[in-house]
Structure 1
């Protein structure tokens, strides 16, 4: 049975389609291009600009979350052929549970960062609620949930360990990193260049050799204050991505 994520009190429904989540996506994508398998898949199987691809794939991902559609056949059709060898010579497949879940996890972690930074700080209970809804969203893909932590606290531990042990700079990273750090399409192209260094996960900044200065952190704080204020004044038709205006 498909789990429903459509009640008016759903935090996932409230925040996933908000453009402020999309503005934070350089955080997720910079981590993805440091994952050997994901980076290889992007260079081997995506034959157009990185952010144009992300616009299509993330929009589809958000649509699945909002509509409650069973995603099994969509996901398999889009990923079954995505396989090969990464820059380290290791075989990869996009539907490998650890690989697929980590990519999804970068969006989950970025969603929490976007809400807490650009919208409003969430309480401990809201963190648990939103994470539980993210788990229900992931189950809709009907892939193995073996890598998926059961609580927000467990997710934080999993994510930090995965970033510390799995991510590295590869030849594919070198190709993709400039695009990840300076979006040229869709909503993320409006994320100010001055904000992106401080928006990055610490592990991504370290591996991509991005020095985060006090000026960068100040730019992020100023931008976040602007976005929080604008959110109260902007109508839903502008604040939400088209796919989320249901």
Structure 2
């Protein structure tokens, strides 16, 4: 992977206007797909709705349990790992960076008719993320292969949540989620070239990436290094000494949970072992999580952006109600808030 192969399309004239960051929108506010989908959309993509399996699993708080898995899997991609190492604020603000990202990423699924606009915004945060890694390889975050790899981890992460922490899913449901992940990906206005056409092709793609493309790099290892993990927002009032004691137990446990979610080739790549006993205990833990969450009301299990989407779809709030954005405590550092690569809503 030595070349920057991102695709681009010219910004067209006419009734469309160009938003900040190079994003083209029609008069209706729907992104046309530039700058990376040649020719833009033939028609705005159709967002997923509450009848989809993606809505059932993706916005669930249990998804945080696969957060280190998703982050490390994304960063193992050579280009994506280099981009994170050179451009991301992850190393400065682990919790805020994670928690605020959930809002726009979730919005691509749950924002209804506004989902294509949210998808274009997420895509355009990546326009200026490019460079050369330590081995002299060029990278660009809008390389379609790189962008789709990140999305594929969202899809597989959804499968993991459903299978490990939500009681399991059938082969037919996996195929349905695969079909839905394609429609989900259309929200970004990216080239569809890298997207496998069938569930079988995707399984081959995933295995190839795990065995032949991913690398054990600094950015991936950093995700798994929880030894200095700061207190999460919900534990702000906990004394520092108490958090340090808890972290000694929490950190290795979450690494163990993450290792249990890896494909065997990835465990080998990252230098981890896994026994039959580990597998049995891991599945028991997943069953316990499922049992605990099964007694919670549906809306309590949902992330705020997902909950708001559900409330709009069911008439609990108006269909045109303002989108829910991250609270101020999760905003980027002050010296980064003016940069176009950051989601930074006015709160």
Does structure 1 residue 55 correspond to structure 2 residue 93? no
Does structure 1 residue 74 correspond to structure 2 residue 121? yes
Across the aligned residues of Structure 1 and Structure 2, the Cα RMSD in angstroms comes to 2.5
Correspondence for 1:224: 286
Task: Decide which structure has the larger Cα Rg and report it.
Answer: 2
Per-residue CA deviation, residues 10-36 of structure 1 (Å, 9 max, x unaligned), is 101111101122212222222122111
**Distance in 1 between the 2:233 and 2:183 partners?**
27
- The 8 Å contact of residues 74 and 81 in structure 2, kept in 1 or not, is answered as yes
Matched positions, count: 243
* Aligned-partner SS, 2:225: helix
Correspondence for 1:144: 191
**Distance in 1 between the 2:78 and 2:221 partners?**
11
User: 1:224/1:101 Cα in 2 relative to 1: closer, same or farther (>3 Å)?
Assistant: same
* Aligned-partner SS, 1:80: coil
Q: TM-score, normalised on structure 2? A: 0.64
User: 1:105/1:184 Cα in 2 relative to 1: closer, same or farther (>3 Å)?
Assistant: farther
Return 169-178 or 109-118, whichever deviates more. 169-178
| 1:236 Cα offset (Å) | 2.1
Q: Larger helix proportion, structure 1 or 2?
A: 1
- The 8 Å contact of residues 73 and 220 in structure 2, kept in 1 or not, is answered as no
| 1:51 Cα offset (Å) | 4.7
- Unaligned 5+ runs, structure 2: 1-43, 235-246, 310-347
* Aligned-partner SS, 1:79: coil
Return 204-213 or 67-76, whichever deviates more. 67-76
**Distance in 1 between the 2:173 and 2:285 partners?**
24
Does structure 1 residue 3 correspond to structure 2 residue 50? no
**Distance in 2 between the 1:151 and 1:170 partners?**
30
* Aligned-partner SS, 1:25: helix
**Distance in 2 between the 1:51 and 1:154 partners?**
35
| 1:2 Cα offset (Å) | 2.6
User: 1:225/1:134 Cα in 2 relative to 1: closer, same or farther (>3 Å)?
Assistant: same
Aligned runs of 1:119-158 on 2, under 5 Å?
A: 119-158=166-205
| 1:127 Cα offset (Å) | 1.4
Correspondence for 1:25: 67
- Unaligned 5+ runs, structure 1: none
User: 1:156/1:58 Cα in 2 relative to 1: closer, same or farther (>3 Å)?
Assistant: farther
* Aligned-partner SS, 1:121: coil
**Distance in 2 between the 1:75 and 1:115 partners?**
25
Does structure 1 residue 42 correspond to structure 2 residue 89? no
Larger RCO, structure (CA 8 Å, separation 6 or more): 1
User: 1:166/1:185 Cα in 2 relative to 1: closer, same or farther (>3 Å)?
Assistant: farther
